[in-house]
């Protein structure tokens, strides 16, 4: 294991004022996003849209790396250059999603287990050769109090897989992003979200310890502690920030290299507000930044989709703006007046 390389990559991923762009939607998921703006799910459209994002001027100022899907890491941009070369030139490290998706867990109705460990060592070696510096594996935890989920068995199985994946990544010189997403779908309140997040994180770090994963070369990608989207009691930005930071302080070792949040269905502004409020509660033991998918892309894809032949630079301005806003939020220096600047 090349410890020095892992530490350097991890530190660069969460450099001050920088976060990660998640554009690793599977072919099915990007198809839904393209369809929502009136475009077909073709390889050319996927390439044109993602190339638009990755060629945003000065993207490297606030984006340290981007998580790619298998297709993109092998793909060439419209000028014939490899996407990974375009990224490296822009100062954006290539990352790769390596799980093969969350599937129904046998014997546990309504719960999902993430697959992809078989053959992972060889795939990671290939991805490292293709230029991947870090990887992502997403586990999905579902809260449904009526059905009694999540079960301990589901949390254990998902965290065990995350830890095996992380160990294999580090062996290949790749920094693992471990992502245990507690879904925000449902009627549960923020206290339930807190309890499930705490249990999941404590279980995860136990498994990472058992599998001898180097925390200094690992990045955590958690969901924020928020009430379910159908919970009648929604809470303030301050409440989300306090609950999330308190949960992390109770569950995450200080040795960890950094934390980058997923947005999980929050609006662009909510995701920025929450991150900023959390950083205002610092100093904290780890950098707290972002690895948003939808909360970085929502405005950009709408503008691009309205007319891809004319709106490339307008879409890039949208992405550049959100990256800058979240860059400030990662330092606790954002305020809503900046949105109009
Ligand atoms: P969202 O920010 O849209 O939740 O996506 C982040 C991600 O990478 C989920 O795995």
In this prediction, residues 273-298 reach a mean pLDDT of 98
Residues 11-24 pLDDT 10s: 999 999 999 999 99
- Output the pLDDT for position 194: 98
**CA 163 to CA 60: how far, in whole Å?**
30
- CATH class of the region 3-340: alpha beta
Residues 319-330 pLDDT 10s: 999 999 999 999
Position 341 pLDDT exceeds 80: no
Q: Answer yes or no: is the C-beta of 138 below 6 A from any ligand 1 atom.
A: yes
**CA 124 to CA 170: how far, in whole Å?**
10
- Asked if 111 is an active-site residue, the reply is no
Pocket test residue of 13, 21, 22 for ligand 1, highest count of atoms within 8 A of CB: 22
Cis amide linkage into residue 150, ω under 30° from 0 = yes
CA-24 nearest atom, ligand 1:
8
Cα distances (Å, whole numbers) of residue 7 to 176, 217, 258, 333: 11, 5, 11, 26
Residues 135-165 pLDDT 10s: 999 999 999 999 999 999 999 999 999 999 9
Confidence of residue 198 (pLDDT cuts 50, 70, 90): very high
Q: Locate the domains of the chain by residue range.
A: 3-340
The answer to pTM > 0.75 is yes
Ligand 1 centroid – CA 22 distance (Å): 6
CA atoms within 13 A on the CB side of 42: 6
**Active-site residue, selected from the candidate residues 111, 136, 221, 277:** 221
């Amino acid at each position: 294991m090349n410890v020095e390389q892992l530490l350097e990559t991890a530190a660069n991923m969460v450099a001050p004022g920088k976060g990660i762009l998640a554009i690793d939607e599977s072919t099915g998921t990007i198809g839904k996003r393209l369809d929502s703006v009136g475009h077909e799910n073709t390889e050319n459209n996927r390439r044109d849209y993602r190339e638009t994002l990755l060629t945003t001027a000065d993207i490297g100022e606030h984006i340290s790396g981007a998580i790619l899907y298998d297709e993109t890491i092998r793909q060439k941009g419209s000028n014939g250059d490899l996407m990974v070369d375009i990224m490296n030139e822009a100062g954006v490290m290539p990352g790769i999603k390596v799980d093969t998706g969350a599937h129904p867990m046998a014997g546990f109705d309504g719960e999902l287990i993430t697959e992809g460990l078989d053959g992972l060592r060889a795939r990671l070696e290939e991805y490292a050769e293709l230029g991947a510096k870090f990887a992502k594996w997403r586990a999905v935890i579902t809260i449904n109090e009526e059905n009694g989920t999540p079960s301990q068995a589901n949390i254990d199985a998902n965290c065990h897989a995350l830890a095996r994946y992380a160990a294999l990544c580090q062996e290949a010189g790749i920094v693992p992003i471990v992502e245990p997403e507690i879904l925000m779908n449902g009627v549960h309140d923020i206290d339930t979200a807190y309890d499930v997040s705490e249990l999941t994180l404590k279980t995860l770090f136990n498994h990472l310890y058992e599998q001898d994963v180097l925390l200094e070369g690992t990045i955590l990608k958690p969901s924020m502690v928020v009430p379910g989207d159908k919970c009648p009691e929604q809470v303030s930005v301050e409440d989300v920030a306090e609950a999330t930071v308190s949960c992390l302080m109770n569950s995450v070792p200080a040795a960890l290299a950094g934390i980058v949040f997923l947005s999980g269905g929050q609006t662009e502004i909510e995701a920025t507000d929450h991150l900023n409020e959390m950083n205002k509660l610092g100093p904290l033991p780890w950098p707290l930044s972002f690895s948003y998918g939808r909360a970085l892309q929502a405005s950009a894809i709408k503008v691009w989709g309205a007319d891809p032949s004319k709106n490339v630079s307008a879409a890039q301005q949208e992405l550049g703006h959100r990256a800058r806003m979240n860059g400030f939020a990662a330092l606790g220096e954002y305020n809503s007046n900046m949105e109009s600047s």
